[in-house]
Structure 1
Amino acid sequence: MAEPMLGKDVPNTIEKENVDCKEQVYLEETFYILSKKKSVFRVRLTSKGLSLIKETDDSSKEQTILLRDIIGSKCMRSKRRRAGAGSCVCSSLVGPQQLKVVEENSGDLDESDISAYLYIFAYTLKRSRRSLKRERTTITLRFRSYDKYEDNYKEAQKWRTSIKCLIANQPITTVIPQNDKKLLILLNPKSGPGKARELFQTKSAPLLQEAEVPYDLHITKYAQYAREFVRTRNVYGWRGIVAAGGDGVLFEILNGMFERLDWQQALAEVPLAILPCGSGNGLARTICYHYNEPYIRENLTGISMGLARGRVAPMDVVRVETKTNIMFSFLSVGWGLLSDIDIESERLRAIGGQRFAIWALARLVGLRKYKGVVSYAKIKDVSNLPKPKLPITLSHSVSQDGALDSPDAEAFIDCDEHSEVFTNAVNGKHQRVDSWYSVNSRRSAFYSTRGSEYHSVASGGSEMRSPVHACMHGPASHLPSLMSQLPSHWVHEEGEFVMVHVSYQAYIGEDLLFAPRSQLSDGVMWMLIIKAGIPRSQILSFLLGMGQGTHSDVNTEYIKMIPVSAFRIVPEGSDGYLTVDGELVEYGPLQAEIFPNIVHLLVPDTK
């Protein structure tokens, strides 16, 4: 006899009269509710998800928890009997005080209860009056058909194994899929209003624990910490690298990866991800936009599910060149109004994303104009561009467990001997993984160098100097040198501008839908040009339209949006801001070009 216990927060995700005949049924069990003698639950594990069919004498009602919403399951055992309950009675809705379960290895087991409890964790989509959000759902199945706990446990474990195989998109076997690799999470505690650590611990960490996804959490100590970290470590030991903070943390990680000699292999094998804990959060908002995932500020559920499920999609990057630097960008390049707002509103960082709206009003009152030349290679027909690739599952080469394949001998330095490292518990064991400073590092071709001098975190907030000279690698440019003449087919516009902003993501901030037609991997940059002379009222109307993306089709005397594959900005004078992914760069000539499908991102599972 088996019994279901449905958490009281289970929503009706799907209701239908008959099971889809195309679904493949893997497991099926009938669960009796003796307190309701005329009702039974028939539970099926299918290719679509977990089907819960409530049957009475005269009706049948089905509720399905979709497979893509299930993130994990766990076998538990009761701690003690529920007060006043008989051995064969089970409530269909179980309150928090009615059932207490403990881990299998706990010393506080109720040996008299032979039942095995299977907890299934899911985050289902629920539509409220105003929005769509994910709601945590727990389904508890009580297995007690046999008179021995071991037999009931074996039955529950069969369901758990099947669920884990389906989640991992693998054939169902008798062995639970194993991936001992951890996520590397680089968290900037000062991102946005300074809530990144709290958001991760309360919103993301519990979900990862339910999904049984281990992780290493490193707290960044200084500017460029994340960049040094990924440049100088064996990143193949992690299943993915997560930037927990704003877009600036991912900017550091991306450029640190391109400073590796093995950049191409590293980016092909180790996907990147972002947990939006900052002010802008443009990329996270874009990912949710493309994968129909609800985006709620300071709610990391959907993005965290993407980390747990491990689905991967390609993303374009843009190579940006200034007079003295080369860098790689994933979000945008700006000159003028939006860059002014981004940089100057830093003083209001404590209030979060609202700082952009407040400073936008200030800059409209004191509107500036900038003189220079803007040149670009226009894409004539975006309808003929290749369609973006579908999400994939990465395969890893043998380099992940040994020395890197790079033929060059470069010293990889353990640059933060005293860094703060948190490792979550896996199978009840706590481990500290300090990258290369371990016995395993002796097997590699790289070595650890000690004795670098650093300032403490509290020493005036000074930036740390990189312990090694960093050299930018990455794909070779197809453009002439920055000061050379451009190809004849390029378009040149000279004069005064309110702003020029180029984006390759749909959103450049949580509330700024800059380029609705943009895809993660389409080879297109969208250049917005606003010329001087435009009335302030028209600029305000245009900026307000960005919230819904209605601005993108505007084409007037002063405003136009152009799809480009490369561009160059040459400002006159020395007063102004140029930004790349929201980061300030040197003011002067700048050019950029897009490279499709260079990076892999962890994305939500929409299968």
Structure 2
Amino acid sequence: MADQKNGKDVPNVGEGDSVSKDVVYLEETFYILSKKNSVFRVQLTSKGLTLTKETDGNSKEQTILLRDIIGSKCMRSKRRRPGAGSCVCSSFVGNNQLKVVDENSGDLDENDISAYLYIYAYILKRSRRTLKRERTTITLRFRSFDKYEDNNREAQKWRTTIKCLIASLPITYSPPTNDKKVLVLLNPKSGPGKARELFQSKVVPILQEAEVPYDLHVTKYAQYAREFVRTRNVYGWRAILAIGGDGVLFEIMNGMFERLDWQQALAEVPLAILPCGSGNGLARTICHLYNEPYIPQNLTGLSMAIVKGQTAPMDVVRIETRTKIMFSFLSVGWGLLSDIDIESERLRAIGGQRFAVWAVARLVGLRTYKGVVSYAKIKDVSNLPKPKQPLTLSHSISQDGALDSPDAEAFIDCDEHSEVFVNAVNGKQHQRVDSWYSVNSRRSAFYSTRGSEYHSVTSEGSEMRSPVHACMHGPASHLPSLMSQLPSQWVHEEGEFVMVHVSYQPYIGEDFLFAPRSQLSDGVMWMLIIKAGIPRSQILSFLLGVGQGSHADLNTEHIKMVPVSAFRIVPEGTTGYITVDGEVVEYGPIQAEIFPNIVNLLVPETK
């Protein structure tokens, strides 16, 4: 490697060593061929990749944070067709673009001894008033030596160090490996029906770059995902990813609780969600809590969480009705909001806007419901146990340590700002290209990652053998049976209600900030009670203000928000909707209690 001009190895720092805040692992100095008196100093540190440009005594520094880097790959230049152009060492301007292939490709340029290291990053940048991630590729060309093998050895050293740092592992001479795939369960009918397209265009390229293999299964009927995780050996996957709305994850989670080994399975196999549905409450919550930009149909930040492997615990709520037991991660509703959610299904094709349209209809024809609402109120939410700290799972590359090589015409889109650098080694000057630039165009397919598989139907010999009557397991209830008398310290409210809605996440929809004080794991459910007699104008104000959560501090005659640890709703009559995580359950008595830290979720590193 190089310090200043000549180059030296930077000593590795072990786990027990006393180190400074920012450790330098590798560094190199590059000279810009097209600009006199300009150099770039590139350092790989415990913080990330630091790029310092020095020109005529002026210095400008940019650091690409380690948390924004998802992977890297070593490549070789592609053989040029006769008459296609001269040496690739020239400046990459116009149509004279660098084309690279895998080192095992039969189409490589034997005359170019360079080794190219591609580093893939998604950087948080501010655009006007919003934050978004911009895809960036840092390209390092290693040509300090006269043989490809020596240059490739240097490139591999950088690649291995990057992968170890990403995985939070000690620096070694070989990159860390993880042969396990991600199980992807995709509902093609969620929301406006674009889940397949979004997975292919937004998620697969990130999995490619991070070298994370996957098994993709498309759900074919209701409860398919539930049956799948209940009957398969889930320990063969590193994580289970739900692609669709909140309903897909609801199926997966309840399928896990129907396993005899539910506790071990949930502890060892984290769950994840990518929003392609109408509500997308949990995905919006994760982004909100971890300061990750949430842009509809932009899955970049949450896709990065899949490959990074950091987990955080999440509470679950045990729900009991007259005939079923289930587990919930989002909300329970009775009345207005549930009516809007279920009855607007006929407008599913327009996506999340269906809720606003149907809210107007329900406000005009306002309904009320009679019943009894009982709850165990939490008197002081400030003294609740703190959630566990996030964990990072070991992860890295696909099962054979390589990707199918992307053809540069499909994968690399060099811009005209690339520079040609000269690196001085042992008195000899070699052209050395080192540029960082955004790569915007690429074509990808479901099958692009080696070892990844796509299943449109259940594979032969692997049919799901579901028991006729699945048994729900999970943590045991602390409450009396549904029809038994409740503890005397519970609060009971009897009368007529416009709605009762209980949430244990900040967001219950993309634009619905229901419980601003809620956390993924805090042991609290927030119950919103709106009683009959409230003017329509106040309900309209409530619906208009839900995006900012302004209703959370209300405490009036007709509307209030209460922190609870358990509740029971007993409606009168047989007409109405009760929903759990947006799914309809039988109309009748229902009770619930919260259990902290049961499920592990994959979350971003941006908190």
| TM-score, with length taken from structure 1 | 0.85
1:127, CA displacement in angstroms? 0.4
Provide the residue aligned with 2:522 in structure 1.
522
- The correspondence of residues 53-452 of structure 1 with structure 2, limited to 5 A, is 53-80=52-79, 89-90=90-91, 97-394=96-393, 424-427=447-450
1:545, CA displacement in angstroms? 1.2
Residues 243/97 of structure 1: CA separation in 2 closer, same or farther (3 Å cut): farther
Residues 194/135 of structure 1: CA separation in 2 closer, same or farther (3 Å cut): same
**AA aligned opposite 1:538:** Q
Q: Encode CA deviations 1:42-63: one digit per residue, 9 max, x unaligned.
A: 1000011000011122111110
**AA aligned opposite 1:23:** D
Distance in 1, matches of 2:134 and 2:448, equals 25
Distance in 2, matches of 1:541 and 1:131, equals 26
Provide the residue aligned with 1:408 in structure 2.
none
1:549, CA displacement in angstroms? 1.2
RMSD, aligned CA: 2.3
1:130, CA displacement in angstroms? 2.4
1:555, CA displacement in angstroms? 1.0
1:38, CA displacement in angstroms? 1.2
Q: Which deviates more from structure 2 when the two are superposed, residues 379-388 or residues 291-300?
A: 379-388
Distance in 2, matches of 1:526 and 1:278, equals 24
* Contact kept? 2:218, 2:457, Cα under 8 Å: no
Distance in 2, matches of 1:305 and 1:495, equals 48
Residues 558/430 of structure 1: CA separation in 2 closer, same or farther (3 Å cut): closer
Q: Which runs of 5+ in 1 are unaligned?
A: 3-19, 397-421, 440-447, 453-465
1:540 equivalent in alignment to 2:532? no
Question: SS of the residue aligned with 1:111?
Answer: coil
**AA aligned opposite 1:508:** I
Question: SS of the residue aligned with 1:203?
Answer: helix
Question: SS of the residue aligned with 1:190?
Answer: coil
Question: SS of the residue aligned with 1:73?
Answer: strand
Q: Encode CA deviations 1:407-454: one digit per residue, 9 max, x unaligned.
A: xxxxxxxxxxxxxxx974555x66689999899xxxxxxxx779x8xx
Distance in 1, matches of 2:558 and 2:245, equals 32
* Contact kept? 1:578, 1:587, Cα under 8 Å: yes
**AA aligned opposite 2:347:** L
Question: SS of the residue aligned with 1:192?
Answer: coil
Provide the residue aligned with 1:501 in structure 2.
501
Q: Which deviates more from structure 2 when the two are superposed, residues 130-139 or residues 586-595?
A: 130-139
Distance in 1, matches of 2:46 and 2:552, equals 40
Question: SS of the residue aligned with 1:551?
Answer: helix
Relative CO higher for 1 or 2, CA cutoff 8 Å, sep ≥ 6? 2
Provide the residue aligned with 1:458 in structure 2.
none
Distance in 2, matches of 1:344 and 1:97, equals 57
**AA aligned opposite 1:344:** E
- The correspondence of residues 39-50 of structure 1 with structure 2, limited to 5 A, is 39-50=38-49
1:89, CA displacement in angstroms? 4.6
* Contact kept? 1:269, 1:395, Cα under 8 Å: no
Provide the residue aligned with 1:7 in structure 2.
none
Aligned residues: 540
Distance in 1, matches of 2:365 and 2:447, equals 50
1:554, CA displacement in angstroms? 1.1
1:481 equivalent in alignment to 2:497? no
* Contact kept? 2:242, 2:273, Cα under 8 Å: yes
* Contact kept? 1:34, 1:88, Cα under 8 Å: no
1:606, CA displacement in angstroms? 2.7
Distance in 1, matches of 2:109 and 2:544, equals 61
- The correspondence of residues 28-43 of structure 1 with structure 2, limited to 5 A, is 28-43=27-42
* Contact kept? 1:313, 1:389, Cα under 8 Å: yes
Q: Encode CA deviations 1:197-224: one digit per residue, 9 max, x unaligned.
A: 0010001111111110100000000000
Distance in 1, matches of 2:100 and 2:160, equals 20
Question: SS of the residue aligned with 1:306?
Answer: helix
Distance in 2, matches of 1:260 and 1:130, equals 46
* Contact kept? 2:27, 2:42, Cα under 8 Å: yes
Question: SS of the residue aligned with 2:192?
Answer: coil
Provide the residue aligned with 1:602 in structure 2.
602
Residues 95/136 of structure 1: CA separation in 2 closer, same or farther (3 Å cut): farther
Distance in 1, matches of 2:243 and 2:319, equals 24
Distance in 1, matches of 2:387 and 2:94, equals 46
Q: Which runs of 5+ in 2 are unaligned?
A: 3-18, 396-444
Distance in 1, matches of 2:197 and 2:79, equals 34
Q: Encode CA deviations 1:118-163: one digit per residue, 9 max, x unaligned.
A: 1010000110112110010111011100011111011011000000
Distance in 2, matches of 1:544 and 1:134, equals 29
* Contact kept? 2:217, 2:454, Cα under 8 Å: no
Distance in 2, matches of 1:37 and 1:45, equals 25
**AA aligned opposite 2:593:** E
Q: Encode CA deviations 1:86-125: one digit per residue, 9 max, x unaligned.
A: 676545xx66742111111111111111111110100001
1:601, CA displacement in angstroms? 0.2
Residues 490/349 of structure 1: CA separation in 2 closer, same or farther (3 Å cut): same
Residues 375/431 of structure 1: CA separation in 2 closer, same or farther (3 Å cut): closer
Distance in 1, matches of 2:525 and 2:179, equals 38
**AA aligned opposite 1:338:** L
Question: SS of the residue aligned with 1:127?
Answer: strand
Residues 593/538 of structure 1: CA separation in 2 closer, same or farther (3 Å cut): same
Distance in 1, matches of 2:301 and 2:548, equals 21
Question: SS of the residue aligned with 2:303?
Answer: helix
* Contact kept? 1:322, 1:482, Cα under 8 Å: yes
Question: SS of the residue aligned with 1:338?
Answer: helix
Provide the residue aligned with 1:554 in structure 2.
554
Q: Which deviates more from structure 2 when the two are superposed, residues 94-103 or residues 541-550?
A: 94-103
Residues 96/208 of structure 1: CA separation in 2 closer, same or farther (3 Å cut): farther
**AA aligned opposite 1:470:** A
* Contact kept? 2:124, 2:133, Cα under 8 Å: yes
Question: SS of the residue aligned with 1:227?
Answer: helix
1:395, CA displacement in angstroms? 7.5
Identity %, equivalent residues: 81
